[in-house]
Amino acid sequence: MAQKKKTAAGSTRWVGRYRDHQGKEHSKSFDTQREAKAWEAEQQRAMRRGEWIDPATHKTTVAEALERWATRPGLRDTSKTVYSTVAANLGPIADIPLVALRRRDVDDWAAILTKGRPWKGGKSITDSTARRWVLIVSAALSLAVEDGLMARNPIRAPRAKASRSISRAQIPTSGQISALVEQLEVGGAEYIEKGSIHTQKPRPDVADMVRTAVGTGMRVSELCGLRVQDVDFLRQVVRVEWQATPNGRELRPLKTRASRREIAVADDLLEVLDRWCVGQSPTDRVFRRADGAALGHTRAGEALRVAARALGLSFTFHSLRHYYASLLIDSGVSVVGVQHALGHESAAMTLEVYTHLWPGAEDQTRAAISGAVSRAGFLRDRSPSPARSISISTGQSG
C-alpha cells in the first residue's frame, strides 16, 4: 500500500512499494497517493502476467542486446562478421532502451536501410538484406526476453513470410545478362560512396564471375571460394568444396552437406575458367583482384549491383542462380537433378522456389489426353444417318 512521506523540504510525497518474485523490495515516490497506488497495481499486474522487468535492466539498449547475442559461445566467424555489420548499422535504434522499443522503430530503421543510410553517405542495401538484418535483431531481442530484459519481442512474430517462389519476370534474360557482362568489362558506371560520386573501373574478374554463375548456378560465396584444383578440365566438372568469407581472405566450410557437389559444365565455360587457372597453383583462388588478392563476395556483389543499376536493372548474383535453374528446368532436368546442381538440402526447397517454372498439372493433363477424343472417333462427319440398333454382348445366353 502507498505510504505518505514528508521530505526534508516539508513537502508531501507518496511512496509505492512492492516485492518481486525473489522477495526484493522496489519503491518509487510520487506526488499523489493515486499515482503511487496505480504504479503498485501496474507492477503487480506485470508480475502476474510474466511481463515484469527488473528496473535495474531498464537501461539495456538494442545495441547492448545485439552484442549479447553476437558474443554467444560457439558462433562461426562468418556469423560474427555478419552480426558486427548489423551492429554497426543499427542507426537510430541503437540507443533505444529495450523496454521502450516499438515495432514502428524497427520499421522506420528498415526503411532507412533500403532508402539510404545517413551514416554511410546515403548508401542503401537491398530489401532482402534489410529483412535478414531485421531478423537478426529479432533473434537478439528474443534472447533478451528469455533473460528477462524485456517483456516481449515487438518483432518476434514477423509479418507473413513472403513466398520464395520465383516467377519468370524475376529472372534475367539472356540479353540483360549480356549487357551486364559488357558493362562490367567496359566500366564507367557511376555510383556514390561516402558522399562522393565515383566511376566504376573495368571489372573483367566480376564479368567472368557472372559467366560462371550463369554456367553453374553457384552462390557468390562459392564462386569466391573456388580454387584452381576445383576445376576438372578433363572430366568437365566444377567441384564446390568451400565458400569464402565476405572479405575473401579465408575459406570456410559450406553450410550444408548438400552444398558440396560436382557440377557438369560446358566447353564455353571451361574456356572462361582456363584463362584464370593457367599458370596458377592448385590452391590459388580462380577469381582474383587485379593485384592478385583473393576476391570477396561483398565487393564482388557490390560491383555487380553498380553495373546493373547503370543499366536500370536490380539483379544480383542470386538472380543469375535463378537464371541457371530456369535453363535446367526448361531443358527437362528433373526436380532432383536441379536440387543437386543448386546444392539445395531437399527437393521440397527446390520446388518451393521454382515451382512456377515447371509445367503445371494442367499442362501435363492436356499432354496426357491430347488426341484421346479424336482417337475415339468423335470427330467424324456428324451428318444424319439411318437409325440402327447396337447390341452389346453381356456374355450370357438363353
pLDDT per position as a tens digit, 305-321: 999 999 999 889 999 99
Residue 360: Cβ-neighbour burial (10 angstroms; 0-12, 13-18, 19+) = exposed
pLDDT band of residue 228 (cuts 50, 70, 90) is very high
Question: How many Cα atoms within 13 Å fall on the side-chain side of residue 374?
Answer: 2
Q: How far is CA 377 from the centre of its chain?
A: 55
Model confidence at 158, pLDDT cuts 50, 70, 90, reads very low
Q: Which residues pair with 243 in a beta bridge?
A: 252
Tell me the three cell numbers of residue 292.
592478385
More confident residue, 394 or 50: 50
CA torsion 303-305-309-313 (nearest 10°) is 140
Residue 198 belongs to what H/E stretch? Answer: strand 196-199
Query: What proportion of the chain, given as a percentage, has pLDDT over 90?
Result: 42
Cα angle for residues 156, 221, 162 (degrees, 5° grid)? 35
Structural contact between residues 150 and 51, judged by C-beta atoms closer than 8 angstroms: no
Backbone dihedral angles phi then psi of residue 138, each to the nearest 5 degrees: -60, -40
Name the phi and psi angles at 240, rounded to 5: -95, 105
d(CA 87, CA 172): 33
Q: Which residue has the higher pLDDT, 358 or 184?
A: 184
Report in angstroms the alpha-carbon separations of 139 from 24, 54, 68, 132. 30, 21, 11, 11
Q: How far apart are CA 59 and CA 121, in angstroms?
A: 30
Q: Where are the beta strands (DSSP E) in 301-391?
A: none
Nearest-angstrom CA–CA distance, 86 and 89: 5
The pLDDT assigned to 133 comes to 92
Q: What is the DSSP letter of 243?
A: E
Q: Does residue 32 have a pLDDT over 90?
A: no
Q: Which of 7-16, 88-97, 121-130, 287-296 has the lowest mean pLDDT?
A: 7-16
pTM of the predicted model as reported, rounded to 2 decimal places: 0.59
Cα 353 to chain centroid distance, Å, stands at: 13
pLDDT single digits (tens) 67-79: 988 888 888 887 8
- Does the pLDDT of residue 147 top 80, yes or no? no
Q: Are 156 and 138 in contact (CB under 8 A)?
A: yes
Cβ neighbours of residue 61 closer than 8 Å, sequence gap 6 or more? 94, 95, 96, 97, 98
| Helix, strand, or coil (residue 115) | helix
CA 350 to chain centre: 16
Cell, residue 146:
528469455
Average pLDDT in the chain: 83
Please check whether residue 185 is in contact with residue 202, taking contact to mean a CB–CB distance below 8 angstroms.
Answer: yes
CATH class of 168-357: mainly alpha
Q: What is the pLDDT of residue 52?
A: 57
Confidence of residue 22 (pLDDT cuts 50, 70, 90): low
